Amino acid sequence: MKHRLWYPTCGMVWATVLLASGSVSAGEERQLFNVVLFVIDDLGQRDLGCYGSTFYRTPHIDRLAREGIRFTDFYAVCPVCSPTRVSILTGQYPQRWNITDWIPGRKDQPDQRLQRPSIRTELPLEAVTIAEVLKRRGYVTAHIGKWHLGGKGFGPKEQGFDINVAGDETGTPRSYFAPFRNKGGVMPGLEEAPEGEYLTDRLAAEAVRFISAHKDRPFFLYLPHYAVHTPLRAPAERIRRYPNQPRPGTQSNPVYAAMVESMDDAVGQVLTALAEHRLADKTVVLFTSDNGGLATREGGPTGATYNGPLRAGKGFLYEGGVRVPLIIRWPGRGKPGTTCAEVACSNDLFDTILDAAGGRQPPDPPTDGRSLLPLLDGKPLSERAIYWHYPHYANQGSRPGGAIRRGRYKLVEDYETGRHELYDLSRDLSEEKNLATEQPDLVRQLASELEKWRQQVDARMPRPNPQYRPHPPDANGTITLPARTALIHGQQWRFEPLPHQESLGHWVQTGDSASWDFTAIQPGRFRLELVYGCHSNAAGASVEVSLDSWRQQHTLQATAGTHDYQPHVVGELKVDQPGRHTLTLKLVRPPSRPLVELRSIVLRPVKDGGR
């Protein structure tokens, strides 16, 4: 049962309110603002023109940035959707509510070394949301878009929203085109729709209707679009505006571009409605996304988008997976068109919105965030750390881990091996140089702080998987060890998850090594192949492959390019007994340039007679 909190009754209109506590000093008058919060699904920070994209068309959001403040170092507290949405609505780390993956999450599989901790499949009713707080202050509240925090009995209306359009338990739209239904049901509030209507357009129209109907009282409009989440679908006439020449490692997917443009148009319609009803000066507008852009094969052969120079994307704890846009347009506060480089995260939106609604008033619920309003006025906030805990195997190819950012430094921890990576983001935005061996004291300090935080929020850790059965042979007896499952033991080797790579890259450090477990059904001899791409400038480097007492060195040979993956025979080895074995690859002599990528290692059975 939800805790009932007492709030002073007030017939609030757009006047001013006297605050007895909160971020505003006692007696100071504060205007009560409407709040519009856009949360876009899977939008990468670099998918917007105001953040550097030259391919996607986002004129309305770019204008919002010119009229407001754009944050450069803003983070989602999870690289996937549901947990970040918990943090936005409650102001708390989602680990406190044991929602650490998208709901219901990816099921455990035999090739996982670790077993995921179980998670809640809904935001519990005792959680106090920003909608509930604002509703008790006299606001009318609307949820229009994606919910994905629980089904029947745990929807938006049970969590403080007067109106719900399209929000249910699903993480993807039942359909991007009307009728908005599938075998599982129909999207709430969209039962009637003209054939072929596009969902993003419809949600914008619903938002405009809400603004028009409630223009004379304070309102909170939460607009979490389903776009630009897969499946990639957009109106044909918008897709035709972009060249149909997608290239890996670039922003070039025409369907995704059309989705981004449609989303931008939808934002523009809401901003226009505010202006037409003379509400722009009475409304705080916030724009963000729930995690980084989808850059892996899940988004198609070339990925949905490309997040460079940020590393990786959705599902990963690297910058491409968690650094997201934030734009705030707050009438009368801050210099329009400026940027803010202060580190902040999605937990902070709760307290920021509270300030737009009069500031904190006891007994407002405690949060893990803080208001960003002082930053709009150019006043720095005290330094603090931001934490991540993702104890799951993501659909995008990442593995369980945690991270902490304090100041310029970010530490990433691999839960499978305990390996740490340390990056100086002020000098290395792409997270290319792991400083862990150079600054061991800082690694220990940040790792200790991360562990203490996990205990404070009761973060659940993964455990060894009793059903672990790695890389069994296929029907022909061949065993394939892909780069994505390698355990990395060195400092600079890294898994490159983009679709045209999916490889072990960054060959710069002598002694870097990786290992793979595999399952042999029976003893036998195998021909070992390394499948890699090697630029001519990198040929001549050497690696050592080992299995038990067997060792063999291999000199890398040039292929047609770094991404031209070709098999190269290293030699034959013998597996003496069935069961689990571990194969290790070690870099003996690095190439002169790191233009090598290993896609996989293949063990092919050798039949009698050596064939």
Q: What is the pLDDT of residues 285-344, one digit of tens each?
A: 999 999 999 999 999 999 999 999 999 999 999 999 999 999 999 999 999 999 999 999
The answer to whether the pTM exceeds 0.85 is yes
Residue 354 main-chain phi, psi, to 5 deg: -60, -40
pLDDT over 90 at 29, yes or no: no
CA-angle at 84, arms to 83 and 86, nearest 5°: 65
pLDDT over 50 at 20, yes or no: no
What Rg do the C-alpha atoms of the chain give, in angstroms?
26
Return the percentage of the chain with pLDDT > 90, whole number: 93
Kindly state the average pLDDT of the residues 447-459: 98
pLDDT over 90 at 23, yes or no: no
Dist. CA 557–CA 201, nearest whole Å: 53
Burial class from Cβ neighbours inside 10 Å (0-12, 13-18, 19+) for residue 343 reads buried
pLDDT for 483 equals 98
pLDDT for 362 equals 87
437 close to 445: Cβ distance less than 8 angstroms: no
Q: What is the pLDDT of residues 496-533, one digit of tens each?
A: 999 999 999 999 999 999 999 999 999 999 999 999 99
272 close to 300: Cβ distance less than 8 angstroms: no
pLDDT for 609 equals 53
pLDDT over 60 at 2, yes or no: no
Give the active site residue among 50, 60, 78, 81.
81
Continuous segment of H or E residues that includes residue 412: strand 409-414
CA-angle at 552, arms to 550 and 554, nearest 5°: 160
Q: β-pairing, 29-31 with 385-390?
A: unpaired
pLDDT for 30 equals 65
Query: Quick check: bond before 104 cis, omega within 30?
Result: yes
- Is 148 labeled as catalytic in the residue annotation? yes
Dist. CA 387–CA 393, nearest whole Å: 18
pLDDT over 50 at 33, yes or no: yes
Give the active site residue among 60, 143, 148, 389.
148
User: Which positions ≥6 away from 549 have C-beta within 8 Å?
Assistant: none
Amino acid at residue number 14: W
Kindly state the average pLDDT of the residues 130-137: 97
pLDDT for 607 equals 85
C-alpha 313: how far from chain center: 7
279 close to 215: Cβ distance less than 8 angstroms: yes
- Rounded mean pLDDT of the chain? 94
Q: What is the pLDDT of residues 344-354, one digit of tens each?
A: 999 999 999 99
pLDDT over 70 at 19, yes or no: no
Q: Using DSSP, state whether 576 is helix, strand or coil.
A: coil
pLDDT for 608 equals 67
pLDDT band at 493 (very low <50, low <70, confident <90, very high): very high
Dist. CA 77–CA 404, nearest whole Å: 10
Q: What is the pLDDT of residues 215-265, one digit of tens each?
A: 999 999 999 999 999 999 999 999 999 999 999 999 999 999 999 999 999
Residue 321 main-chain phi, psi, to 5 deg: -95, -20
Q: Using DSSP, state whether 401 is helix, strand or coil.
A: strand
pLDDT for 31 equals 76
**Better pLDDT: 27 or 525:** 525
Query: The tokens 């650094």 sit on which residue?
Result: 323
Dist. CA 315–CA 79, nearest whole Å: 5
Q: What is the pLDDT of residues 365-400, one digit of tens each?
A: 999 999 999 999 999 999 999 999 999 999 999 999
pLDDT for 16 equals 41
pLDDT over 90 at 276, yes or no: yes
310 close to 292: Cβ distance less than 8 angstroms: yes
Dist. CA 48–CA 355, nearest whole Å: 27
Dist. CA 184–CA 195, nearest whole Å: 19
Dist. CA 44–CA 51, nearest whole Å: 10
As a residue count, the chain comes to 611
pLDDT for 11 equals 33
- Is 81 labeled as catalytic in the residue annotation? yes
pLDDT over 90 at 24, yes or no: no
Dist. CA 430–CA 433, nearest whole Å: 9
Kindly state the average pLDDT of the residues 544-563: 96
Burial class from Cβ neighbours inside 10 Å (0-12, 13-18, 19+) for residue 199 reads buried
